């Protein structure tokens, strides 16, 4: 018996509206949004769920907030991300874009799920910015976070995750992180072979990167002088 049916029977037969922890948890779970659209509690970071008013899933917290307020905050954040992306496309304002995106990320952490689509957009923007600045290590770290968001929404074997892993492989390749790059190449190639075929430009590029890295790793390193 589902929570709604159980509570209905308690109400009709015993004139009792149950609000026990089990019913509370099941009610929130039934109203749960997809992780890529979910909000989190500003107080404890647990997911918050509901209709017009969202309640924290952590019963020891008890925070609640209106959906209208969260939607307004989300719209404001999306506008800020859009402005940062425009700065990034400018090419000459990359550092400014980084600062704005970092501010967006801090704002997102206060009310969005870590797997929210907008969080993925922010991480992707930061990855692009650091790649433009030649900081491949930081770029890779942000892509890895973006990968988690894409995987939550589309699945671990989707073409979307294949494209994200392809970007990760490129960045790691440029940063000469050989073992990490080879691992990303292997994962991306496996997925993109299924969706795009062996003749696709992405698969061909992955194979070229792999060949180059394998050649590089086989070059003996002489003694330091």
Q: What is the pLDDT of residues 132-146, one digit of tens each?
A: 999 999 999 999 999
Query: pTM for this one?
Result: 0.80
Q: pLDDT value at position 6?
A: 59
Do 173 and 213 form a contact (C-beta atoms < 8 A)? yes
Do 80 and 103 form a contact (C-beta atoms < 8 A)? yes
In the predicted model, is pLDDT for residue 32 greater than 70?
no
CA atoms of 102 and 99, how far apart (whole Å) = 5
- State the maximum Cα–Cα separation within the chain, in Å, rounded to a whole number: 88
Do 96 and 86 form a contact (C-beta atoms < 8 A)? no
Please report the DSSP string for the chain in residue order. --HHHHHHHHHHHH------HHHHHHHHHHTPPPGGG-EE-TTT--EEEESSEEEES-TTT--EEEHHHHHHHHHHHHHHHHHHHHHHHHSS-HHHHHHHHHHHHHHHHTTB-TT-HHHHHHHHHHHHHHHHTT-HHHHHHHHHHHHHHHHHHH-TTSHHHHHHHHHHHHHHHHTT-HHHHHHHHHHHHHHHHHHH-TTSHHHHHHHHHHHHHHHHHTSPPPPP-
Q: What is the pLDDT of residues 44-56, one digit of tens each?
A: 999 998 889 999 9
Q: What is the pLDDT of residues 180-213, one digit of tens each?
A: 999 999 999 999 999 999 999 999 999 999 999 9
Q: What is the pLDDT of residues 59-116, one digit of tens each?
A: 888 899 999 999 999 999 999 999 999 999 988 899 999 999 999 999 999 999 999 9
Q: What is the mean pLDDT of the chain?
A: 87
Q: What is the pLDDT of residues 111-166, one digit of tens each?
A: 999 999 999 999 999 999 999 999 999 999 999 999 999 999 999 999 999 999 99
């Amino acid at each position: 018996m589902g929570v709604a049916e159980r509570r209905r029977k308690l109400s009709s037969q015993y004139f009792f509206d149950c609000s026990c922890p089990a019913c509370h948890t099941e009610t929130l779970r039934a109203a749960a949004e997809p992780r890529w659209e979910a909000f989190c509690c500003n107080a404890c970071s647990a997911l918050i769920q509901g209709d017009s008013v969202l309640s924290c899933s952590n019963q020891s917290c008890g925070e609640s907030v209106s959906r209208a307020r969260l939607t307004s905050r989300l719209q404001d954040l999306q506008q800020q991300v859009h402005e940062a992306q425009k700065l990034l496309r400018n090419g000459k304002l990359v550092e400014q874009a980084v600062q704005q995106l970092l501010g967006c990320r801090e704002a997102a952490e206060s009310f969005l799920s870590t797997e929210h689509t907008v969080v993925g957009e922010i991480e992707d923007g930061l990855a692009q910015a650091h790649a433009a600045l030649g900081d491949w290590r930081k770029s890779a770290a942000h892509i890895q976070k973006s990968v988690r968001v894409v995987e939550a929404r589309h699945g671990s074997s989707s073409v979307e995750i294949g494209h994200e892993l392809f970007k990760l492989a490129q960045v790691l390749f440029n940063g000469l992180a050989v073992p990490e790059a080879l691992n990303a190449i292997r994962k991306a190639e496996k997925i993109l072979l299924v969706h795009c075929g062996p003749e696709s430009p992405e698969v061909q590029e992955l194979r070229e990167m792999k060949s180059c890295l394998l050649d590089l790793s086989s070059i003996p390193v002489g003694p330091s002088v």
